């Protein structure tokens, strides 16, 4: 009886296509792939083979106005602003009467967009980038504001971003932040903030966007 390695390609059991491999560097990463016609080929996967690998999704909330003169922010237990328990989830109630928000919940790009909670519910598993900007003033000099992502009502323990605020309440500052995280389908993401001292923040507008960087389907 002959050796199996000497059996002709046509006489081999599936998966066929292995005879074409030479064992060199060019064969690294090759796998057996069904052709969909009852046979197989041995090759490297392409982005087309991985479902969702080139999909991008995006949605944005833009809310302007100011019905609220200011929101009181308590002093934190941890003035370094590293402790998640010190953070307050930032919703439209910071600066708007929620009853005045038009289309409080809509679907954009597959995301459920809540314009009262200023949040997004994501449609699929993947890595997402949340970015936000808003106009804000503090009634206390040299206020430092920290920002953290919030998923399903829980403020992230991960790193946030710190920035120095305006020196007095007559100044208006444009604040921005962004963060990337992995989310499961149905997760709700928004943002939270904390300050290094007790103060009153006045917010006049918010632009918040989310972009799916990579969909994970495996």
Say if residue 152's pLDDT is above 80: yes
**Distance between alpha carbon 120 and the CA centroid of its chain, in Å?**
9
What are 135's strand-pairing partners?
174, 205
- Structural domains of the chain ordered from first start: 4-43 (no CATH), 57-215 (2.60.120.40)
pLDDT of residue 103: 78
Q: Do 47 and 53 touch, CB atoms closer than 8 A?
A: yes
Rounded distance, CA 131 to CA 107, Å? 18
Say if residue 1's pLDDT is above 60: no
pTM of the model: 0.70
Q: CA nearest 189: which of 166, 158, 162, 167?
A: 158
Write out pLDDT tens, residues 164-182: 566 565 567 778 888 889 9
Q: Do 88 and 193 touch, CB atoms closer than 8 A?
A: yes
CA angle 136, 93, 87 (to 5 degrees): 70
């Amino acid at each position: 009886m002959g050796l199996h390695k000497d059996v002709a390609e046509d006489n081999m059991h599936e998966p066929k296509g292995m005879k074409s491999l030479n064992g060199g560097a060019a064969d690294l990463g090759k796998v057996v792939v069904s052709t969909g016609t009852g046979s197989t080929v041995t090759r490297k996967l392409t982005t087309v083979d991985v479902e969702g690998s080139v999909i991008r999704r995006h949605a944005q909330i833009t809310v302007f106005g100011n019905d609220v003169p200011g929101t009181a922010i308590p002093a934190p237990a941890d003035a370094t602003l590293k402790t998640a328990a010190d953070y307050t989830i930032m919703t439209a109630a910071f600066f708007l009467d929620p009853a005045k928000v038009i289309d409080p919940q809509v679907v954009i790009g597959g995301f459920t967009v809540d314009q009262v909670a200023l949040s997004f519910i994501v449609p699929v598993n993947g890595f997402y980038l949340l970015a936000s900007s808003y106009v804000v003033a503090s009634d206390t000099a040299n206020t430092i504001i920290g920002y953290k992502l919030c998923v399903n009502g829980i403020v992230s323990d991960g790193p946030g971003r710190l920035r120095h605020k305006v020196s007095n309440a007559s100044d208006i500052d444009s604040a921005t932040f962004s963060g990337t995280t992995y989310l499961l389908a149905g997760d709700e993401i928004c943002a939270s903030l904390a300050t290094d001292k007790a103060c009153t923040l006045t917010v006049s507008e918010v632009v918040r966007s989310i972009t799916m960087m990579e969909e994970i389907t495996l």
